[in-house]
């Protein structure tokens, strides 16, 4: 059926579509169509179209509702989901915006679309985001039966590590097992481990992360099994003497948690080895440490193993139970995990 359309050259198509869309003039009932070297953009009100554009009658087909972004884009975009937030990793801002628009136009469930704007950085491992559509970076993510509320703009979180987290969570052996999560974030280890019966102490230097962790503990019905503490785990545990801690107002839980842990999660891959002395102070007589690391593919596990032995021996026997590559992190660099059992001699 002939409908009013703005006729432009294809190279001007996207810019024109956006200008018309900004004035709410694009008629979504009909498809934007290429024909004879022109692009025809159906419009809702020919009289409202700015004079610089050429309006013609054109037989545009009715638009079928796109079911996925590829229908709109003509290529398959790559994206991840975190609850109702769709996450892109695009270097070209224009391409990112096109993908975001296509996602919103399609059947993909999305409250907002965000693009990674920096690497994770600083002590708190948080990155910058460009919000391309919708209004936010807050999400509720579901993973292996647990729900996690979080704000990507203020805390670290990666949905990609779900399988690895589950592997570790499944190792909780018994009701009341003592787990210490040294770099806990919003609780993706702490919460399911508590659900599996563990008594968990979780520390993080980022107070927003701990606030979310406490909310997530409530949300998943395990608040009574998790003690959440804000601070540098070294100070929180035993870096400072009790007198010093009392003077500084830092909570010193050394007496409570030294020699306490049956299991310790150390998920701070860049620098976790700097915290192994703290981990050994926390370890009970028989304790498994899950140590994450970034290493070169030529020797992915050697440095982590050597660091654990240097910190724990000769007080403990060290047995490496698992060596695992979690994912490739950068060219020739791997994100690995070593599960080490420490048994007091």
Residue numbers at the binding site for ligand SAM (CB under 6 A):
123-125, 156-157, 161, 183-185, 188-189, 203-206, 209, 232-233, 267-268
Containing H/E element for 185?
none
Give a three-class secondary structure readout of 59-108: ECCECCCCCCHHHHHCCCCCCEEECCEEEECCCCHHHHHHHHHHHHHCCC
Shortest distance in whole angstroms from residue 204 CB to ligand SAM:
4
Nearer to ligand SAM, 77 or 185 (CB): 185
Question: How far is Cα 309 from Cα 276, in angstroms, rounded to an integer?
Answer: 10
Cβ(280)–Cβ(312) under 8 Å? Answer: yes
Using DSSP's 3-state secondary structure scheme, residue 292 falls into strand
In this structure, what DSSP letter does residue 76 have?
-
Nearer to ligand SAM, 95 or 116 (CB): 116
* Residue with the two structure tokens 């003592």: 178
Do β-strands 55-59 and 2-8 pair in parallel, antiparallel, or remain unpaired? antiparallel
Shortest distance in whole angstroms from residue 252 CB to ligand SAM:
15
User: What does each C-alpha distance from 287 to 240, 263, 266, 300, 315 come to in angstroms?
Assistant: 23, 5, 13, 23, 13
Shortest distance in whole angstroms from residue 320 CB to ligand SAM:
21
Shortest distance in whole angstroms from residue 245 CB to ligand SAM:
15
Nearer to ligand SAM, 63 or 234 (CB): 234
Shortest distance in whole angstroms from residue 181 CB to ligand SAM:
7
Per the structure block, which two tokens stand in for 104? 């919103």
Nearer to ligand SAM, 113 or 201 (CB): 201
Question: How far is Cα 213 from Cα 210, in angstroms, rounded to an integer?
Answer: 5
Nearer to ligand SAM, 67 or 244 (CB): 244
CA-based nearest residue to 310, from 340, 269, 268, 287: 340
- In sequence order, what are the residues at sequence separation of 6 or more whose Cβ sits closer than 8 angstroms to the Cβ of residue 240? 248, 250, 252
Determine the residue with CB nearest ligand SAM: 185
Do β-strands 2-8 and 38-42 pair in parallel, antiparallel, or remain unpaired? antiparallel
Per the structure block, which two tokens stand in for 50? 């700015």
Shortest distance in whole angstroms from residue 251 CB to ligand SAM:
13
Shortest distance in whole angstroms from residue 232 CB to ligand SAM:
4
Half-sphere exposure of 70 (CA within 13 A, CB side): 5
Nearer to ligand SAM, 101 or 339 (CB): 339
- Strands (E) located in 152-233: 178-181, 199-204, 226-230
Shortest distance in whole angstroms from residue 12 CB to ligand SAM:
45
Nearer to ligand SAM, 75 or 144 (CB): 144
Per the structure block, which two tokens stand in for 99? 């993908």
Shortest distance in whole angstroms from residue 189 CB to ligand SAM:
6
Cβ(235)–Cβ(259) under 8 Å? Answer: no
Nearer to ligand SAM, 100 or 184 (CB): 184
Nearer to ligand SAM, 127 or 341 (CB): 127
């Amino acid at each position: 059926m002939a409908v009013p359309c703005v006729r432009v050259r294809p190279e001007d198509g996207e810019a024109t579509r956006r200008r018309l869309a900004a004035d709410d003039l694009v008629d979504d009932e009909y498809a934007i169509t290429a024909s004879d070297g022109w692009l025809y953009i159906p419009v809702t009100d020919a009289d409202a179209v700015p004079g610089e554009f050429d309006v013609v009658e054109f037989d545009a087909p009715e638009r079928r509702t796109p079911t996925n972004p590829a229908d709109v884009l003509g290529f398959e975009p790559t994206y991840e989901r975190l609850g109702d937030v769709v996450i892109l990793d695009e270097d070209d801002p224009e391409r990112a915006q096109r993908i975001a628009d296509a996602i919103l136009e399609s059947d993909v469930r999305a409250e907002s679309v965000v693009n990674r704007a920096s690497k994770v950085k600083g002590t708190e491992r948080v990155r910058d985001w460009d919000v391309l559509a919708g209004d936010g970076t807050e999400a509720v993510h579901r993973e292996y039966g647990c729900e996690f509320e979080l704000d990507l703009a203020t805390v670290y979180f990666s949905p990609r590590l779900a399988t690895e987290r589950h592997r570790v969570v499944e190792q909780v052996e018994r009701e009341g097992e003592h787990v210490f999560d040294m770099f806990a974030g919003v609780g993706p280890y702490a919460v399911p481990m508590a659900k599996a019966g563990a008594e968990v102490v979780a520390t993080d230097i980022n107070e927003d992360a701990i606030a979310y962790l406490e909310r997530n503990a409530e949300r998943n019905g395990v608040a009574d099994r998790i003690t959440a503490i804000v601070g540098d785990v070294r100070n929180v545990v035993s870096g400072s003497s009790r007198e010093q801690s009392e003077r500084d107002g830092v909570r010193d839980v050394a007496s409570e948690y030294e020699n306490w842990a049956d299991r310790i999660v150390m998920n701070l891959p860049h620098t976790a080895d700097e915290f192994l002395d703290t981990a050994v102070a926390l370890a009970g007589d028989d304790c498994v440490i899950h140590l994450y690391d970034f290493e070169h593919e030529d020797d992915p596990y050697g440095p982590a193993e050597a660091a654990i032995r240097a910190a724990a021996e000769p007080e403990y026997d060290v047995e490496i139970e698992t060596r695992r590559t979690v994912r490739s992190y950068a060219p020739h660099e791997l994100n690995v995990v070593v599960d080490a059992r420490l048994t007091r001699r």
